[in-house]
């Protein structure tokens, strides 16, 4: 199966009907004498969930274990009685279903699992009724509005501008045949821990541009590959059975500001920095010798806004423009400099983009990395009372054009920063 594909609601309904029970999380909006589904998540898992229900005058959130046939009926648009609530689900105008096969530790739609998974999603129609923005007070925790309650219920995380859901349904199938709980990369050895429920016939491979290594997997345990010349750029670690992958990790130059993979441990942080610098400054990487001042500071903040408005990126402080690693000044207080940057971002960028700052040690020198993730919308630099938008073109940050700003806001039609 390809990593991305298409299916239809008939196939999906048949798959659900064939299961005795599934775990379901429903976000519902009150409408006259019934409840309308705003978002539904289904997990095809044998382990039952701990049931919980939050109910308010205008909204309800329920986590339950239901018969697969009940969920399939909702998918078709048939009203169902669920936990004392009369629930109806909008029927999407299109019967198309997006299918994605994701590796372990891969984040998609604010969801990450240790093991690989297959996800089916159905988008919500534009004219589907939207929830209100009233305070939610009732049988459950109190929230400022529906969006905050939804983010807390689904993700146990505070709401931000990227938390809104465009999908009506999301069905998740865990794939636990084989997966990587932990991978350790040292200066001369890669060690992979493997776990799984069906590893018969599995093979572990390490592939790079000029060669590869492979070894059979005889069960859960620890497997190693020597790295006499270190980890090659663009290496791919693959756990597979014949032509189907079970789990994988790639190690490109990590220039994007995406969330770091918690399963990968770098025992030689300098190696990670070398990979990061492999392709030089570009659309997703900018280097600074030190925490900038004046106009240089404004330029860095505009670049952070540009990173967040598109695919993400990383600012490295302690690296020259020619990629020479000089490190932060020896007398510098790293924590103080980090707090200084956090304050700059909070005070000048709207909305505040998703980012993470951390220190990388390289041969006794400290480099401060500001890893900016994609915010899913346009992020502005505040210049006095004026909001300015920027994009990244090659290694340069330039003002965004009108169509780029409009396209950025269309990524999240509910976003507003004014």
- Give one DSSP letter per residue of 280-308, joined into a string: -SBTTEEEESSS--HHHHHHHHHHHHHHH
Q: Higher model confidence: residue 48 or residue 58? A: 58
Mean pLDDT over the full length of the chain: 87
C-alpha–C-alpha distance, residues 408 and 417, integer Å: 13
**21-30, 235-244, 312-321: lowest mean pLDDT where?**
312-321
Confidence of residue 254 (pLDDT cuts 50, 70, 90): low
Percent of the residues in the chain that have a pLDDT greater than 70, as a whole number = 90
Whether the predicted pLDDT of 256 surpasses 50: no
Superfamily assignment of 274-410 in CATH?
A: Schlafen, AAA domain (3.30.950.30)
**117-126, 179-188, 189-198, 234-243: lowest mean pLDDT where?**
117-126
C-alpha–C-alpha distance, residues 297 and 344, integer Å: 9
C-alpha–C-alpha distance, residues 260 and 312, integer Å: 13
Confidence of residue 283 (pLDDT cuts 50, 70, 90): confident
Q: Higher model confidence: residue 315 or residue 403? A: 315
Whether the predicted pLDDT of 263 surpasses 60: yes
Which among 368, 377, 356, 370 is positioned nearest to 325, based on CA atoms? 368
8 A C-beta contact, residue 409 and residue 380: no
Where do the structural domains in the chain lie, given as residue ranges? 4-174, 179-252, 274-410
H or E element in which residue 182 lies: strand 179-185
In the prediction, which pLDDT does 260 show? 63
Q: Show the 3-state SS of 211-233.
A: EEEEEECCCCEEEEEECCCCCCC
C-alpha–C-alpha distance, residues 43 and 229, integer Å: 43
C-alpha–C-alpha distance, residues 73 and 71, integer Å: 5
C-alpha–C-alpha distance, residues 304 and 320, integer Å: 18
Whether the predicted pLDDT of 45 surpasses 70: yes
- Whether pTM > 0.75 for this model: the answer is no
Q: Higher model confidence: residue 111 or residue 289? A: 289
In the prediction, which pLDDT does 414 show? 38
Task: Tell me what the mean pLDDT of segment 400-415 comes to.
Answer: 67
Whether the predicted pLDDT of 22 surpasses 90: yes
In the prediction, which pLDDT does 417 show? 36
Just give the CATH number of 179-252.
Answer: 2.60.40
């Amino acid at each position: 199966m390809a990593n991305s594909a298409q299916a239809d609601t008939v196939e999906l309904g048949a798959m659900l009907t064939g299961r005795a029970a599934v775990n379901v999380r429903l976000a519902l909006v009150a409408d006259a004498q019934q409840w309308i589904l705003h978002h539904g998540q289904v997990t095809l898992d044998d382990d039952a969930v701990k049931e919980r229900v939050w109910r308010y005058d205008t909204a309800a959130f329920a986590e339950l274990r239901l018969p697969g046939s009940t969920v399939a009926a909702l998918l078709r648009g048939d009203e169902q009685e669920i936990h004392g609530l009369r629930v109806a689900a909008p029927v999407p105008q299109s019967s198309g279903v997006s299918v994605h096969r994701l590796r372990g530790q891969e984040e998609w739609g604010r969801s990450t699992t240790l093991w690989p998974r297959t996800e089916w999603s159905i988008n919500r129609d534009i004219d589907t009724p939207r929830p209100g923005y009233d305070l939610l007070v009732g049988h459950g925790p109190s929230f400022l509005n529906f969006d905050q309650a939804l983010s807390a219920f689904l993700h146990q995380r505070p709401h931000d501008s990227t938390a809104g859901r465009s999908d009506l349904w999301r069905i998740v199938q865990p794939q636990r045949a084989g997966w990587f709980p932990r991978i350790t990369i040292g200066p001369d050895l890669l060690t992979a821990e493997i776990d799984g429920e069906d590893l018969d016939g599995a093979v572990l491979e390490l592939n790079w541009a000029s060669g590869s290594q492979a070894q059979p997997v005889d069960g859960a345990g620890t497997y190693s590959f020597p790295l006499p010349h270190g980890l090659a750029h663009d290496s791919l670690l693959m756990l597979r059975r014949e032509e189907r992958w079970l789990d994988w990790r790639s190690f490109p130059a990590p220039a994007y500001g995406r969330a770091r993979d918690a399963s990968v441990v770098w025992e030689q942080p300098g190696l990670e920095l070398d990979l990061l610098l492999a392709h030089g400054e570009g659309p997703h990487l900018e280097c600074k010798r030190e925490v900038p001042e004046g106009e240089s500071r404004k330029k860095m903040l505009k670049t952070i806004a540009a990173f967040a408005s598109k695919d993400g990126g990383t600012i490295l402080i302690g690296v020259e423009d020619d990629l020479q690693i000089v490190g932060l000044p020896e007398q510098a207080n790293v924590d103080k400099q980090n707090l200084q940057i956090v304050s700059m971002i909070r005070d000048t960028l709207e909305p505040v983009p998703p980012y993470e700052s951390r220190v990388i040690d390289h041969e006794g020198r400290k480099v401060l990395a500001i890893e900016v993730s994609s915010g899913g919308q346009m992020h502005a630099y505040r210049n006095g009372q004026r909001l300015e938008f920027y994009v990244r073109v090659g290694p340069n940050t330039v003002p965004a054009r009108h169509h780029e700003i409009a396209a950025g806001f269309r990524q999240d039609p509910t976003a507003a920063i004014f």
